[in-house]
A and B are shown apart, each in its own frame.
Chain A
Amino acid sequence: MLDPLAGKLLHYMDLLSARQKLVASNIANVDTPGYKTRDLDFQFEYLSAIAGMGPNVVEASDLATKNDGNNVSMDRETRLLAETALRFNVAQTLLKGQVKAVRAAIKEGRGA
């Protein structure tokens, strides 16, 4: 019923919430010795669009490792936390806009 944009938005939001879970676990493990930062290749997962299967979790590259083997960068994680939440907000607003448009067509501009 809703056009293909709604399907893409849902897929985008699925990936965002998966990523947010990884960011949260990274932040929780900021002091764990030997813990490596986990992430998912967002662009690749979004464009390959294989629904139903969970996204592949990979180790983030290009991060400095501390003496205890932990390589979590607090700044990277807090920034990803904020960016993921904001992008989720954008996608959610777009999806609401789609639903509103169909509803407006149904009401045909009559009533409130």
Chain B
Amino acid sequence: MSLFHLMSVSASGMGAQRKRAELLVENLANAETTRTAEGGPYRRKDAIFESREQSSPFSAVFQTAVDGQVQGVSVTDILTDTREPERRYVPGHPDADENGYVSFPRLNPAEEMVDLMSATRGYQANVAAMQAVKDMILRSIDLMK
């Protein structure tokens, strides 16, 4: 299992965390959105991570059997929140129903912020891992000089 292959594993981690951060930022931006294209208030989105084998574009076909033991990560699904939206009493609102209640997205901005921090940390950790692997490769090259 090659050092270069480890880099693609770290890159998959970076990509997954970035996708998660994208969704969290979208959630935060739409925390008060009452109307969407599909009708109804905005529904919170979540990323599902799944470990997946990473194939390296440099490896020969018969190498993937060995590399398969090291798993990268990928975002396989985006889960849309199916809970009932939060209803608040705002009678003058243009989206109010006949009783004066408006449906707001059910999400907690504090939770989203904390998740965003965790996604940032995860991204940084993967970047640090890739740097460490790069360093190992450079030192191995130094052996040959």
Contact = CB atoms under 8 A, between A and B. Distances in A.
Interface of A: 39, 42-43, 73-76, 78-80, 82-83, 86-87, 89-90, 93-94, 96-97
Contacts of A74: 18
Contact of B14 (A75, A83, A87, A93): A75
Q: Is the interface of B mostly helix, strand, loop or mixed?
A: helix
B7 A79 contact: yes
Interface of B: 4, 7-8, 10-12, 14-15, 18, 57-61, 130, 134, 137-138, 141, 144-145
Given A75-B14, A75-B15, A94 B144 contact: yes
Contact of B57 (A39, A75, A94): A39
Given A89-B141, A93-B141, A79 B130 contact: yes
Given A42-B57, A82-B130, A89 B7 contact: no
A90 B11 contact: no
Contacts, number: 48
Given A39-B57, A43-B61, A87 B4 contact: yes
A78 B14 CA distance: 11
A95 B45 CA distance: 52
A93 B58 contact: no
Given A43-B61, A82-B7, A97-B144, 4 more contacts: A43-B60, A75-B12, A79-B10, A83-B4
Contacts of B134: 82, 86
A82 B137 CA distance: 11
B137 A93 contact: no
Contacts of B59: 43
Given A82-B7, A82-B130, A83-B58, A89 B138 contact: yes
B130 A93 contact: no
